[in-house]
Amino acid sequence: MKGRLVLAAAAVGSLAVAGCASSSSSNGASGSTSSASASSGGGSGKTCTASVGFEGPITGPVAPLGTEQLHFAELAVSMDNAANKTKITLVQGDTQLQPAQATTVTQQFVSNSSIVAVVGPAGSQEVEAVGGPMARAGMAFISGSATAVALTTGKYPTFFRVVSKDSVQGPQDANYIVNTLHPKNLMIVDDQEAYSTGLVSAMVPVFQAAGVKVDHESVSQKVTDFSALVAKVTPATSVVVLPWQVAANAQQFGRDLAQQHKKALIFGTDGLFSPGTFTIAGSYVSSFGPDITAIPTDASIAAAAQSKYGSFGTFGPPVFAATHVIDEAIASVCKAGQTPSRSNVLAAIKQTSESTSILGQPISFDSHGDLTNGKFFLFKISTSGKYQLIPS
Amino acid sequence: MSFFFQELVNGVTTGALYSLVALGFSMVYGVLKLLNFAHGDLYMVGAYIGFFVIQWFGGAAHLTIPVPLLLLIMFVLAAGVVGGLGVAMERFAYRPLRDAPRIAPLITAIGISFFLESAALLLFGAQYRVYNTAEFISLSSGIQIGSVTIDSVQIMVLVLGIALMAGLRLLVNRTKLGKQMRAVAADREAAEMLGINVNFVITVTFFLGSALAGVAGVMGGLLFNQVTSTIGFIAGLKAFTAAVVGGIGSIPGAMLGGLLIGLAESFVTGYISSTYTNLLVFGLLIVVMLVRPSGLLGQAQLQKV
Amino acid sequence: MSVDQRGAQEPQGPQVGADEWVARQAHRREYLPSWLGRAQRASERIGWWPRLALAGLAGAVLPSFGLGGFQLQVGIDALVIALLAVGLNIVVGWAGLLDLGFIAFFGFGAYGFALLSSAQIGSAGIHLQAWLSIPIVMVGAAILGLGVGLPSRRLIGDYLAIVTLFLGEAFVEFTNNVAPSKLGGPNGITSIDPIRAFGFQLTTNPGYYYLLVIVLVVTMAVLRLLENSRTGRAWRAVREDPLAAAAMTIPVNRVKLSAFACGAMVAALAGTIYAAQQANVFPTDFDTPILILIYAGLVLGGAGSIAGAATGALVVMVIYDGLLRSPAEAGYLFYGLVLLTVLVKLRPWRRLGVVLAATIAFGFAARAIARAASASAVAGGPGSSGWIARAVRDWVIVPANATVAGNFGFVALICLLIALVQVSSRWRTILLPPTLYLASFVWETRLVTEPSVTRQLMIGAILIVMMNARPQGLLGQRRVEVPA
């Protein structure tokens, strides 16, 4: 008995010692960084080594979006490592789209001195929660999907985003609907998430000012049965606006529309951009990201993503762009002969000026972290389910 | 008026689905007095099985076998596998806890539910799996009465649901096995003393209840098309509501409860607003609970001293 | 009569809440087995209050061992959940009311504090100081607890569980959809004031950590006093047998309501500190997964025991939120746990040695066979990092296409584990080496590459295993329920 106790204590102790020894040499929780390379690298001639954190909803209610973002971030890191001869590792952190967890993950990344910048978080509420700690740590973080207007009012000096904000997308789409589709009655359904409600509150005033009768509905993202809601679509309603994040739900909504012989067409936003999933003919999709399969320069990226991860939608490419910005910043810091650190990577990101990118537009940031001249792309789905870009 | 009928049709169809899940839940509660929180996740497993059967036979757009055969295979396989899963759950997780304090199997059930959801996430991945029912059951097949459309999938759900429920009632009320189930539900110890093989009866009950959930999962997949690891939670919640409103432990109660919940959702969405649907349905539940604590068709529980 | 005495040897006569006959059975161990039980009995000789003081001191001193920002954050989260578990213990552990909507009180506390201490209401907002807003919120929560407890008068255990589950869901729906301009909707309430009182202000994480340690210790002390009072005894009586309690003139309904109210107050207190520390509240912060964490902690530690609730919650949160977030540390935890279990559970030394040696040999043999069969079967590298990966690289089979093989291995592992529990001892020894190897295989191919899913699997496994192996938890008291 006593011997067993001694042996058990010895086993636990040796594991703990080994763990502590190994982690102290890798500066705390370093995730998938191997302990050898976590010590400072970079500098002229030597390999450029750094870690980039990824915060996203890998599990939880929007796990499909989060995993897509993670995959594209990993793809960007591997492609940039090959192109720039750097050794950047990606450390993932799961936030489940919850701000409290995002705070914990952020603290984890902040404590890990090898992480010099972060991609994410995905949700606007999460950005609100982590903006402060990130600013205190001087760590840049670039989001590929947080579109709330309040985020770039100067509160969070280290925040950047590669997508445009709701105040641009909402009125732009609403005006297009009013001017081109001329609806008399319109139904707009939000999915009870901040992204959706933000867009709705930007769009509804435009509709009302144009004299369109608006029926504002709301369903949770977890709902999969829309037959009752679809039955509410009157014959006079010609447009249903779905600023949703889950394309599969919108596809089901469209099917229910067809099944109940309703003539309304669907106007969706970024979440619906999913060529494999949302294919209701005649629908419009407004996206902050282009269809990268239609951009010739993105052919290799699209092919790589397709073969490794299957079909993807609209949330992956912006995260690729964000990760790429960080990778390039790290590479430029190394080329200047310095060791990547949070401050010089932050400065390099502020100076970002890419003439082309996966998003089909130049990337640079204004003083508040917004993407300058962010474009929105409007697509119409043809009868064969293909997304056709509508030139602006 | 046709709007009313359309909402009625929708409500009855989804109500039939909820009834099926609630039935299994109610049956298990009846014999074991156990709230099986993992029941909704059995629904989810059934839905996944249906999806994989479709993929096995070529995918929704290029099926290699005729549709009725496909449906038969989906239902039978889902019923069998999910029933077996339920039996395994009972055998290895709930049976050792038969005489433990009531909280123990309840917490185990919560644990199993969480575990099943995470396992599904691990094994099947996070992306939505889509049935694409419209590819092999055309959207225009179905009945149209005036401007009210009833899809053929909805008809199938209704018919199959009613058939299963009728069959279950027959089983419980007319067969010897059903009599044994009712005896075990009334008083387990007395039934054991009378020579009934209680373990066998409980196993069969679990199998039937879980098989029903699995079939409901396939039907849900056909109706709603998307399958992901979290659909079980919502389905389970609706099943609890239905079973409790109708009177837990009572089979006609589960059917009535499911129908009521389906109709309530439909009409609240249609006539009030979809924003408040869940809140109002919860409210309905609270009201029923306060007015008739044992549910609409349930029997008031006698408290034995 | 102190409720601390457990009846393994000589119970001092009849006790409320403990079945005398059960307690006398020598083989029904109330304490943990072997040296752990001895440690428990020794610590009991110290007394409850000194133990609490020691624990509080340990908690307060911990940050000075060089805990970084991340560990502090994990500590804060763990302390909040521990406070919640202690509150839940009142309702579930003491009064026996299965409350699945407990998280709504937590949310009420957080939102209440947010509304009273931010710019949300009115043009400039109400900015009450903490010493005002916290008591107001706690009183409000007590009233809400009374309201929620009202159906419990007519509902028997399981119905109460369902109704409270729905109330919990209804809270999330309510705060998400109703009155978005006042409650913030999905955007929540941001820029909440920190805790301010009489010129003091807590703005740093270490500050909140110490505050939480103090609050937890004080709450546990207050609850200890409550446990040994008439109210505590009434709660336990109602839990064991409401009819008998009513026959002994205990006002059963009032007692149940008071349990709800007390639990709600503790939860609201935790909510206010949470809101102040996070400086934001969102509806999704109060969803069911958090409730499951609290329950896992309570179950692990032992429902019915204050120390158990707090300890269990701390252990669960440190593992879930801290250790399992990074694959490297998760690896230590996993292999450490497996080795520890094998070490402790396998009785004769010879058997232990044989099993370990067989596992290692089995591994090498299996890998050699796999490599001979096809090169791609061993092409991948283990998912772990650090010295563990180096150690197992030549031992574990990791195919090139790890995902599919790992999935099948996972299912096979579950089946094997279930079989292990059912078979006789000899077969168990034979099956152990393949099971251990398969566990390592599944870990390296699948589990370690997806830490976010793995930690959820772990929580579910904790609940299942604990309830089957030791329903009273680590520090709880074993109860026998007479079926109605």
The DSSP code sequence of A128-186 is HHHHHHHHHHT-EEEESS---GGGGTTT-TTEEESS--HHHHHHHHHHHIIIII--SEE
CB atoms C464 and B93 under 8 Å: yes
Residue C221: pLDDT band (50, 70, 90) is very high
Nearest to C69 among A3, A12, A111 (CB): A111
- Convert the pLDDT of each residue in C300-329 to its tens digit: 888 888 999 999 999 999 888 877 777 777
Task: Give the model's pLDDT for residue C310.
Answer: 94
Q: Parallel, antiparallel, or unpaired: how do β-strands A387-390 and A377-381 relate?
A: antiparallel
Residue A220 is given by DSSP the state -
Is A22 a residue whose pLDDT tops 60? no
What is residue C212's predicted lDDT score, i.e. its pLDDT? 94
Q: Do A224 and B225 touch (CB under 8 A)?
A: yes
Pair B111, A225: CB distance under 8 Å: no
Q: Chain B residues with CB inside 8 Å of A260's CB?
A: 6, 149
Instruction: Supply the pLDDT for residue C406.
Output: 87
Question: Rounded to a whole number, what is the largest CA-CA distance in chain C?
Answer: 77
Provide mean pLDDT across the span B84-110.
87
pLDDT score for C160:
79
Q: Tell me if A213 sits within 8 A of A207, measured CB to CB.
A: no
pLDDT of residue C165: 85
C-alpha C215: how far from its chain's center? Answer: 19
Give burial (CB, 10 Å; 0-12/13-18/19+) of B169: middle
pLDDT band at C350 (very low <50, low <70, confident <90, very high): confident
Question: What is the reported pLDDT for A20?
Answer: 46
Across B210-222, b (16+ Cβ under 10 Å) vs e yields bbbbbbbbbbbbb
A263 touches chain B (CB under 8 A): no
Which chains have at least 3 CB atom pairs separated by less than 8 Å from chain B? A, C
CB contact under 8 A, C166 and B241: yes
Which 3 state secondary structure label does DSSP give A25?
helix
d(CA A264, CA A240): 6
Whether A42 shows a pLDDT value over 60: the answer reads no
Has residue B248 got a pLDDT over 60?
yes
What does the pLDDT read at residue A35?
Answer: 33
Q: A8, C190: Cβ pair inside 8 Å?
A: no
Q: Which residue out of C291, C329, C452, C455 would a mutagenesis test of the A interface target, given it has the greatest number of A Cβ atoms within 10 Å?
A: C452
Helix (H, G, I), strand (E, B) or coil at B149: strand
Share of chain A above pLDDT 70, in %: 88
Give the model's pLDDT for residue C401.
77
pLDDT tops 90 at residue A141: yes
How many residues are recorded in chain C?
A: 484
pLDDT at B44: 95
pLDDT (tens digit, 9 = 90+) per residue, A147-186?
A: 888 888 888 999 999 988 888 888 888 999 999 988 889 9
DSSP letter string, C116-143: HEES-STTT-EE--HHHHHHHHHHHHHH
Q: Determine the average pLDDT of the residues in C400-428.
A: 86
Residues of chain C in contact with residue A103, where contact means CB-CB under 8 angstroms, are: 73, 278
Q: Which residues of A touch B13 (CB under 8 A)?
A: 227
B128 vs A: CB within 8 A:
yes
User: In terms of pLDDT, which residue wins out, A9 or A293?
Assistant: A293
pLDDT given for residue B305 in this prediction: 55
- The two structure tokens encoding residue A114: 């090898």
**Which pLDDT does position C418 carry in this prediction?**
86
| Separation between Cα atoms, residue C435 and residue C394, nearest integer Å | 18
At B301, the pLDDT band (50, 70, 90 cuts) reads low
**Mean of the pLDDT values across residues B109-130?**
89
CATH fold for domain C51-322 = ABC transporter involved in vitamin B12 uptake, BtuC (1.10.3470)
Q: What is the mean pLDDT of chain C?
A: 83
Q: How confident is the model at residue A23 (pLDDT cuts 50, 70, 90)?
A: very low
Output the CA–CA distances (angstroms, integers) from residue C293 to A294, A297, C451, in the order listed. Answer: 46, 47, 17
Q: To 5 degrees, how large is the angle CA B267–CA B273–CA B279?
A: 85
Antiparallel, parallel or unpaired: β A284-287 and A265-268? parallel
Measured between CA atoms, how close is A229 to chain B, in angstroms? 6
**Optimal mutation site among A35, A59, A114, interface C, most CBs of chain C within 10 A:** A59
- pLDDT at position B72 over 70: yes
Interface contact flag, C340 A93, Cβ < 8 Å: no
Percent of chain C with pLDDT over 90: 24
pLDDT category at C22 given cuts 50, 70, 90 is: low
- pLDDT score at B178: 92
Spell out the CATH class of B2-291.
Answer: mainly alpha
Please state, in angstroms and rounded to a whole number, the distance separating the CA atoms of residues C346 and C355: 9
List C-alpha distances in Å: A101 to A98, A123, C79, C449: 5, 12, 15, 19
* CA-CA-CA-CA torsion sign (B153, B154, B159, B164): positive
* Block residue for tokens 């435009």: A206
* Separation CA C356–CA C122 (nearest Å): 68
Q: Give the CA distances from residue C65 to residues B36, B89, C62, C80, C328, in Å, rounded to whole numbers and listed in that order.
A: 45, 45, 6, 21, 22
The answer, yes or no, to whether the previous bond of C180 is cis (omega within 30 of 0) is no
Q: Where are the alpha helices (DSSP H) in B33-151?
A: 39-56, 67-89, 103-124, 133-136
| pLDDT range class, residue A39, cuts 50, 70, 90 | very low
Distance between CA atoms of residues A319 and A321, nearest Å: 5
- Write out the two tokens for A200: 């709705």
CA-nearest residue to B285 within chain C is: C163
Give the pLDDT confidence score for residue A34 in this predicted structure: 35
pLDDT digits (tens, 9 = 90+) for A190-218: 888 888 888 898 899 999 999 999 999 88
Q: Taking 80 as the threshold, does the pLDDT of residue B27 lie above it?
A: yes
Spatial separation of the C-alpha atoms in residues A164 and A289, rounded to whole Å:
10
For residue C295, is pLDDT > 60?
yes
Residue % of chain C over a pLDDT of 70: 88
Mean pLDDT of C258-264: 93
pLDDT band at C3 (very low <50, low <70, confident <90, very high): very low
Beta-strand pair A237-242/A265-268: parallel
At A31, the pLDDT band (50, 70, 90 cuts) reads very low
Chain C interface includes A89 (CB < 8 A): no
Cβ neighbours of A11 in C, within 8 Å: 336, 339-340, 343
pLDDT tens, C189-215?
888 888 888 878 888 888 899 999 999
- Please report, as a single letter, which amino acid is at residue C354: V
Residue C12 has what pLDDT? 59
pLDDT at position C112 over 90: yes
pLDDT of C20: 60
Taking CA atoms, C35 is separated from C4, C338, C347, C417, in Å, by 20, 19, 14, 27
* CB-based burial, A176-211: b 16+ in 10 Å, e otherwise: bbbeeeebebbbbbbbbbbbbbbbbbbbbebbeeee
pLDDT category at A44 given cuts 50, 70, 90 is very low
Size of interface A-B (CB pairs under 8 A): 97
A223: which chain B residues are within 8 Å (Cβ-Cβ)?
234
pLDDT in tens, A242-272: 998 888 889 889 988 888 888 899 999 888 8
A193 to chain C, any CB pair closer than 8 A? The answer is yes
Parallel/antiparallel/unpaired status of strands A185-190 and A159-161: unpaired
Q: Residue A200 and residue A182: Cα distance in Å, rounded?
A: 18
A29 band by pLDDT with thresholds 50, 70 and 90: very low
CA distance A92 to A89: 10
Contact C102, C267 (CB under 8 A): yes
Q: What is the pLDDT of residue C30?
A: 62
Q: Where are the domains of chain C?
A: 51-322, 329-469
Task: Among C89, C91, C166, pick the best mutation site for testing chain B contact (most B Cβ within 10 A).
Answer: C166
| Sign for the pseudo-dihedral over CA of C55, C60, C62, C64 | negative
**Residue B96, pLDDT score:** 86
**Least confident among A161-165, B32-36, B58-62:** B58-62
- Kindly state whether A277 is in contact with chain B, defined as any CB-CB distance less than 8 angstroms: yes
Examine the pLDDT at A320 and tell me if it is beyond 90: yes
Best CA proximity match to C134, nearest among C267, C289, C331, C294: C267
CA distance B59 to chain A (A): 14
C119, exposed or middle or buried, with CB in 10 Å at 0-12, 13-18, 19+? middle
Q: Which residue has the tokens 């919940």?
A: B261
Q: Please tell me the distance from the alpha carbon of residue B31 to that of residue B180, in angstroms, as a whole number.
A: 10
Residues of chain A with Cβ-Cβ distance to C70 below 8 Å are: 28-29, 104, 107-108, 110-112
Q: Report d(CA A126, CA A131) in Å as an integer.
A: 8
Q: Given a cut of 60, is residue B237 above it in pLDDT? A: yes
Provide the shortest C-alpha distance from residue A71 to chain B (in Å). 12
- Residues of chain C in contact with residue B33, where contact means CB-CB under 8 angstroms, are 158
- Average pLDDT score over residue span B128-134: 83
Question: Which segment of A377-386, C278-287, C341-350 scores lowest on mean pLDDT?
Answer: C341-350
The answer to whether the CB atoms of B111 and C288 lie below 8 A apart is: no
pLDDT at B214: 95
The pLDDT of residue C27: 42
**Is C209 within 8 Å of C63 (Cβ atoms)?**
yes
Residue C264, pLDDT score: 95
Give CA B256 to chain center in angstroms: 13
pLDDT tens digit string along A105-131?
Answer: 998 899 888 999 999 899 888 998 899
Residue A19 reports pLDDT greater than 70:
no
Tell me which amino acid residue B293 is. Answer: P
Element (H, E) at A51: strand A48-56
Strands A115-119 and A48-56: parallel
Question: CA A360 to CA A296: how far, in whole Å?
Answer: 10
**Which region, left, alpha or beta, applies to residue B197 given φ > 0 means left and ψ of -120 to 50 means alpha?**
beta
Task: Give dist(CA C296, CA C461) in Å, integer.
Answer: 10
Comparing alpha-carbon positions, the chain B residue that sits nearest to A310 is B127
Average per-residue pLDDT for chain A: 83
Please provide residue C411's backbone torsions phi and psi, each rounded to the nearest 5 degrees: -60, -45
Q: What is the 8-class DSSP label of residue B275? A: G
Instruction: Give residue C29's pLDDT.
Output: 52
Chain C: list its partners (3+ Cβ pairs within 8 Å).
Answer: A, B
pLDDT tens-digit profile of A55-99? 999 887 788 888 889 999 999 999 999 998 899 999 989 898 888
Structure tokens at A206: 């435009």
Taking the Cβ of residue A197 and every Cβ of chain B, the question of whether any pair is shorter than 8 Å is answered with no
- In tens, the pLDDT along B252-296 reads 888 899 999 999 988 888 888 777 788 888 888 878 877 887 778
The mean pLDDT of C429-437, rounded to a whole number, is 89
What are the CA-CA distances from residue C424 to residues A183, A376, C420 (Å)? 73, 66, 8
DSSP letter for C425, please: H
Cβ atoms of C378 and C398 within 8 Å: the answer is yes
Q: Which of A380-384, B50-54, B90-94, B139-143 has the lowest mean pLDDT?
A: B139-143
CA-based nearest residue to C191, from A219, A50, A137, A128: A128
Instruction: Using the predicted structure, report yes or no on whether residue C51 has a pLDDT greater than 50.
Output: yes
Instruction: Quote the tokens at residue C373.
Output: 């069969």
pLDDT at A21 over 50: no
Distance from C216 to chain B by nearest Cα, in Å?
Answer: 25
Map residue A389 onto helix, strand or coil: strand
- In this prediction, residue A37 has a pLDDT band, given cuts at 50, 70 and 90, of very low
Averaged over A17-33, what is the pLDDT?
40
A188 CB near a chain B CB, below 8 Å? no
Band (C91; pLDDT cuts 50, 70, 90): very high
- Which stretches of C228-336 are assigned E, i.e. beta strand? 280-281
Task: Give residues with Cβ within 8 angstroms of B47, minimum separation 6.
Answer: B217, B218, B220, B221, B227, B231
Identify the pLDDT of residue C349.
Answer: 80
Alpha carbon of B231 to those of B39, B274, C377, C426: distances in Å? 12, 19, 35, 42
Under an 8 A CB cutoff, do B114 and C460 touch? yes
Average pLDDT over residues C125-149: 88
More reliable by pLDDT, C355 or C5: C355
